Amino acid sequence: MSATLLLPALLLDAALGEPKWLWNRYPHPAVLMGRAIGWADRRFNQGAHKRLKGSATMAALGLAAATLGWLIHLIPDYGLLEIITAAILLAQKSLVDHVRAVADELRLSLPSGRRAVSMIVGRDTATLDEPAVSRAAIESAAENLSDGVIAPAFWFLIAGLPGLMLYKITNTADSMIGHRTPRHQEFGWAAARFDDLLNLIPARLTALLLALSHGWADPRPILRDAPLHRSPNAGWPEAAMAVILNTALSGPRAYHGEMRDYPWVHPEGRRNPGPAEIDAACAALWRAWAAMFALTALIAII
């Protein structure tokens, strides 16, 4: 049943994305999740036992999100509201649009490309050259394909809308409070660890879909480079994207004025990517989406 509902949801998201006319009038569900997480952070991230408070907060938020998904599932509308909700919480078209915008702006000027990529990455962008801007966009494409498309679809297949809602609020919490900063080191610990757990399979599935949809049969470069990433999961789609584009990704970059000497992913690839490589990454996103759609269709048939 979940696969049958996921197919139209994938198509709806791919066709419409995030219409501005709608979300300019009403708050996006992800925004509402963010508000709830922000409120909990302000209310409970203080005093002693922050790790315990953060764990209880994550459990409560996850239970609330899953329960809401279950209540929507119970509505006797032949799954229509489930399809719409799933489509809203998927992010294929919006991801492609944001990544392609970097290529378009970079063709106009380097400052324009920097501004565009600053909308989708957390690193410092003010001094990035064209290859660094391009790498940032491609890396964001790979990681967000996993977080924003394949993982939500995977958990919808596994546990229906409750599974998707649980994943989405966990991933949102990780992006907001899961950082190793003095404020969130303890309070965000549970969100970060639970997000790692929920992305364990989807991240590797994303790498597999990227590789197979491009006819790549040699897994050794991906297996070699994926563990080099600072994240236990993000390295997999990033390594796969680097291989299929034959482009070196990651490498040194600055966060908040501090240079970090991250290792190169697929170091034998090209070191000077530009807008053309970003366009190729966007095409790869659609190929991986098509592979996920085909997999879902096969599950629905079976």
**pLDDT, tens only, 17-26:** 999 899 899 9
Arithmetic mean of pLDDT, 37-48: 96
Q: Which of 60, 86, 61, 62 is nearest to 73 (CA)?
A: 86
Cα gap 4→298, rounded to integer Å? 10
At residue 258, does pLDDT exceed 70?
Answer: no
Q: Which domain holds residue 120?
A: 2-301
**pLDDT, average across residues 261-271:** 90
- Average pLDDT of the chain is 94
User: Rounded to whole angstroms, what are the CA distances from 37 to 29, 40, 66, 234?
Assistant: 12, 5, 15, 23
> Quick one: what percent of the chain has pLDDT higher than 90?
88
Would you say residue 260 has pLDDT above 80? no
- Structural domain count, the chain: 1
226 within 8 A of 200, measured Cβ to Cβ: no
Whole-number Å distance between alpha carbons of 213 and 22: 33
What CA dihedral angle connects 19, 20, 21 and 27, to 10 degrees?
Answer: 100
- Arithmetic mean of pLDDT, 133-154: 97
Write the CB contacts of 265 (distance below 8 Å, at least 6 apart in sequence): 225, 226, 228, 229, 235, 238, 239, 242, 248, 249, 250, 251
Please give the structure tokens belonging to residue 284.
């790869």
Reported confidence tier of residue 117, pLDDT bands at 50, 70, 90: very high
pLDDT, greater one: 217 or 259:
217
Which residues is 270 bridged to in the sheet?
Answer: 247
Per the rule left: phi > 0, alpha: psi between -120 and 50, beta: everything else, 129 is: beta
Reported as a single tens digit per residue, the pLDDT across 155-209 is 999 999 999 999 999 999 999 999 889 999 999 999 999 999 999 999 999 999 9
pLDDT of 262 > 90? The answer is: no
pTM of the model: 0.95
Average pLDDT, stretch 71-83? 97
Q: What pLDDT score was predicted for residue 256?
A: 62
How long a stretch of residues is the chain? 302
